Structures are given as structure tokens and as C-alpha cells.
Structure 1
Amino acid sequence: MSNTNFAIIDLETTGLSIQRHHRIIEIGVVIANSKGEIIQEWETLINPERELDGSEIHGLTNADLFNAPTFKMIAGELKELLAGNILVAHNLSFDATFLANEFDRINYQTPIGPMTGLCTMKLAPQFFKNSSRSLAACCENIKYQIGNAHAALDDAKAAASLLKHYLHSSPDLLDDWSELVNDFKKFQWKELDKLPHQLVTRSTKREHQSGHFLQRLAIRAPRTNLYPEANSYLEVLDRALIDQNLSFHETEELIEVANSIGFSREEAHLLHQDYLRGLVKIALEDGVISADERMHLAGVAKCLNISQAEYDAALLQDAHQDSVQIQSFKLSVGDTVVFTGEDEEFDRDSLTYQGKSLGLKITGSVSKKTTLVVAEDPDSLSGKARKARELSIPIVDYKTYFELLNRLN
């Protein structure tokens, strides 16, 4: 089997069970030759189109996955990496089950299954005496240091190093698996269209998210009059800053709107100052800016990259000075609220009862009549959150929701 190549894979997922509709969020693939030498590496994050769990394990957030391709988008490229190669994974039954399920979801047949490949974890007792078969423990036996544990490509490279050790230690290893190898290599993979997409990795995502979002706008001298085009930008800004925080999807929307109307970095910054002055004017309606209002204004200024000097100047403005008109968001009796995702601190039935007792309408689906969507993470990838963004409905976390309840009209 000197012409045999291996596709060593590792996955990160939203959870442990496809029965609970958990999905893949990261794929790492290493192609190795018959000697176990790496000849190609490939990786991408995946948008699972559902709530994300397990961040404490894999270290990924909803923001990391927000602009990542879906599995359907990368399936054609992935298929070419796998076709004709022997599938390998550390805990193959887990990875293969998830991978097969993703292909099944797009109605594409593969030979992938929990027993159709080599499992470096199950093979470990043949080569190592220690009882633990974890990837880290096995790699310690061969003095291999995993770069970033629970990052798919790094774990796939670690499994590849184990496979290389096995092949060198037992040159006849594949003879026991000849039938499986031959069946996998003979499978006729059907054509699968390559859809337009851009691979997103942990490193490229971190670079994309670094710095304030204004840095991603063009530099150009501001125009003498920014209105009325500015109103559409300010409308998004007003909706996004209900919680004095800009989530990733909100910054992406602001950049999209700014680019669509040709706003430069300088023009957007001027609008941010106008917006802050508008908030100050609202706060001054009763003649004084309270401590809570100051905290709110300071939070907004930080989000908008407004300097201390600009912030101080806004606070000193005349209450009658012209400023941008802002419709401060408030919840009112009769408004419709939708909850999405689970939160360990809050019971959904209790939240529903509380909301209804205060006069809100609590529904299970998002529509044009929805006033607010509440999520554990405003960057939620759930279907309800996606629908809310399509309809320009605000999404806030539970802390902000309770603050809005305290000011319910």
C-alpha cells in the first residue's frame, strides 16, 4: 500500500451529540503520505447556524464564527481532501459520526462512518503501555508537544504524528486493515459543487477583530454636510448601543452601512460625537446628569472610541444646543419579546411568567411584530437571532433585558 495517503482529521463541535443537533464549528485536515509525512494542511472555522456551547473547552465564541462559512459552503473543498484517502482521527467514532452527519444534512453520500478508518486512540495500546489514551497522553509518549490543544488543526497534526510513529514502529500495520483501506479507496465520490466561500481560521479571525472597527473604514477628509445619509447609520448605532456594548455582528453592520453610503473613518467619528451629544441632551432634560446616566454615557463613549477630551466637551454642552435627534429605546407594556438559547442562571418558564406578568408579550418566534430578542450572547448564531438581524430587531443580553424591565413604561 505504498501509494496510500491519509486524511487525518480533527473537529471541534458545539456539543457531544448529533441527536441534540450539535454541529461542527471547526475542521482541521492533515494529508499525510504512506510514510506518515505531512504533505498538506487545511483548516477552517464553521458557522454552525445554532447556539454555541463549550467555549470553555475549544475557546471559540459566537463572534469568532459569525462570518465563518457554513458546512455546506466548504463541503465541496473538503470532499476533495477526503476522497481516495484513508480517514484517520483520534477517537474516530466521534469525529466520523459528526462528519457523516454534516454530509447527510446536505444530502451527500460518503463512506464515512465510525468504523471506516483508523483510530489512533484505539491503536494506542499496541504501542504505549500507559493506560490513558487521550491525545495529550499519547503524544507525551513520543515527545510531541501539541501546539494549541482543542484547536482542530493542531490536534489533527498531533494525531498525524501518532500515525507516523505507528507506521514506523509497525510497517505491516495496514495489512490488518487492508479490506477497510481498499473499500474506502474504491468508493466513488460523486461530484459536489464548490460554493463561493472564504476560509476563516482562528488566526485570521483574531486579526480581523483586533482594533476598533473604525480602523477598517477608509481615511478621507469629511464632507461639509453628512446628512441625510447619516440618519441610516445613526439608526443602526442607536439600536446597537441599547446595552452600551457593540457586539461583533453590530460592528459588522455599522461597517456595512458606512461603506454603503461612502462614509470615511473621520466622518463616522464625527457622527459618533454627534450621537454622544444627542444622548447628553436627553440626559439634561431634567437639568442634571445623574450618576447612572454618566455611567451610561461613559460606556457609549468607550464603544465609539471617543476621547476623554471629546467626552468632557459633550458633557459641558448647552442643553439647548442643536444635536442629533435620538429615540432612546425603551420597553413598553404590550411589546413582544423573544428569548433564544439557554442560560444556566435563568429558567425560561420563569422569564416567560415574569414578562407576561409585567404586560409583555412573550412569543417563541421572531416576526416583524417582535420588539426585542434576548440572548445569552448578542452574537448568537441561532435561527431566531439571524431572523432578528434580517428584520433589524435589537438583540440584547439578559443583564440589559432586566435593566429595561426596571424602566418598563
Structure 2
Amino acid sequence: MSGYTVIDVETTGLFPEKHDRIVEIAVVYVSDQGDIRDHWSTLVNPQRDVGPTRIHGISSTDVLDAPTFRQVAPYILRAVEGRTIVAHNATFDLRFLAHEFIRSGIPLENLPLHGVCTMQWSTSFINGASRRLVDCCNACGLPLENAHSAAGDALATAGLLAYFLNMSDFKPPWFERLHSTRGYTWPPFPGVYPELRIFGRRQARDVPQDQWLDRIVSRMPRAADPRVDGYLAVLETALVDRFLAEHEKDQLINVALESGLTRGQVIDLHADYLRAMAEVALDDGVVTEDERADLERVAAMLGLANGDVNMALELAAEPEHGRHRAGSAVATSGLKLSPGDRVCFTGEMGRPRSAWEQAVERKGLSCGGLTKSTAILVAADPNSLSGKAEKARRYGIPVVTEDAFEKLLSQVAP
């Protein structure tokens, strides 16, 4: 078999390890040429409370007569066998999928599950900073209808996948991943297939959006390391409902650890995230009482203090040469340079190119043209449309600003 299966889930929370469950799932069949061949979605009775209705728009009443995951599991299993799973922030969706399969008595081996993540690959095909599905779709001119419904998000993700396939002339950079995913040995479903009951949403709901936090998330820079992007995506979802219990904080750290991030990196990332929020708040030169209250609320949820809010605002208010340092920190989180790494530059730099090259050589790094072995591309404008920048995105090479590069370079022992 071949082709892709795009999956999106709405859930009761963020952590399947702590008994959060799937409340809605959508499946979209996409060919290797990016054509949608079929799709279906259904609400799922999680056999517990449905979680944040204000985010996913699903109430307890909606799922009373919906099938359980165990009842739809064999059809999901059939939908992914011999195909490559695709999702936007695939780590999140695949964690939930794996836990639900195991709860349903389907023994999985070789965990974690793997797939293609459109959020991760968006940096290779889209000139935009935001990792959110809606912003990626806007950058590509693709529609996103019924956001935060599994069907709407899955169809939008399928559109992104088709866009990426077309941009790569149907020779996607994740080619090696196709062999491992399509060769994955899924266990056979034991027993008789139950009747597939599709149970849709009873009525469309306008899910209220938090405009202030929504604006911050859409402006947050992409991280050079996809592990950090995956963690930030979970963090941003957690912040939307404005409550983060102690066990959720612990689980967030577990998510980070599973991704290979250290506890220290997570704490630093939280501080950088808060400073980037402060920079967005000060874009218009004024921090309102509501914005200040939101900063303090988010700081508390991230394990930070009000003093950290004051410091973040002070840094954001510094002259222009001091601005956007937090964004640079987020953008480079998880990324490190080592002696011998190759660095490439593009665009007219604020600092003479020769000075940068000398600084690079003093640290034991090398300068040169852009190849697949290049560790990083430094660009005057990270959204540059230059040939080097386009090539770097295709190769999955991080593209960073001068400020971000200066921070990375300072961390390299000479």
C-alpha cells in the first residue's frame, strides 16, 4: 500500500499518560500526489469529562451517544496500515493515538509511533514565523474551516501536505520516513469488526478565542529545533484555558524530557517565552492593565515570579538594539554550534561580513557556501526569499538572524 493518512484529534487535555482521552478524531486519505481520496470523522465518548469545551467546542451531551475509541479502533487501524501518518504537531497526535490503541487491547511495539509532521516541515516550505496551523494555511493561501474541529484541522493539514508535495516536485525531503512508516508492523485486530458508527457534531459552535494570547502565539518565532516547537505547541495549548495545575506542569516537563530537552532548558525556555510575550505587548508602546495581568498570570503558570514580568518588560523597553533578544532565544532554543560546523551567510548584514567571518574562524567554525552539511544559515532577514534561504529550508537547515547567531556563537568554546 502507499499514500498518507492525515489524522487530527481533539482531546480532554494534554496528557494521555494522565488519563486524558480523545473526544473527536478525523481521518483523511491522501494519495502520494496529494489528492484527497476520502475522509471521515466522528466524536468519541471518552468515558470521562470532555475537558475544555471552550477550546474544542464539544460538550458532555454531544458525546453521550458517540462510539468509544475501542469501537472505532479497528477502522483507524485499517486506515493507517501500510501508509504514512501525517499530523500538524504529529508528536502530540501520535502519543494520544498510541495510548488509545493500547487501552483498546491493541498491543503496539516499537514505540513511539512515527509520522510526518507538517508543523516541523513548514519551515522548509513557508516563509512565516508562526507554527500554528491557521497561520501556515494563511501563508499558503489555503482555507481552514471549522478550526479546532478534528475534521476542519485534518482537511487543512491535508491541504498543507499537498502544498508541500507540490513544492518539492513530489520528491519530499521526508522520503526515508516513508519506508519506515509504511513498513511498520501493525498488530492485527483481534475479533470481529464492530459496526462503524459515525457520530458528528450536533451543531456548529463558535469557539471563543482569546485575542490577546492568540496574537502572542501567532507572533512567536519558530524554534530552530523541532523538539522545541513541539513542546511550545503543547505549552501554548495549555495556556489557552488559563489554568495549569501542578500535575500538568509536571507532565509538561515530562513531554519536554521525552523530546530530549533538559529541565534547565525548559525553565530557560519559559523565561524566554515570557520575554517574547512582553515584546509583543510593548509593540504599540503601551502595556494595558489587561496585558499586564495576562503576563503575570502566564508567568505564574510557567513557574515564574512577578519580578520576572518586570524584568521581561524592562528588557522589552530597551532601545531597539536590545529588542527581540527573547525572540532570538526562543528561535535558537535547543540549537548548538560546535567547532568544525559550517556557517553560511545571506543578505546585507548589520555587521561587516568580514568581521563575522573572522569571529566564526576564531571559534573554530568554518564559512562557505550552502550545502547539506551546513549547520546554520545566518540571514539579514529570516524570511528572506534568497536562493540560499530557499535551499536551506528545503534541506531543513535552521535560518536565524544576526542577533540569534551572535548568541549561539558566544556559547561556542574557542
TM-score normalized with structure 1 length: 0.47
Structure having the higher Rg = 1
TM-score, normalised to structure 2's length?
0.47
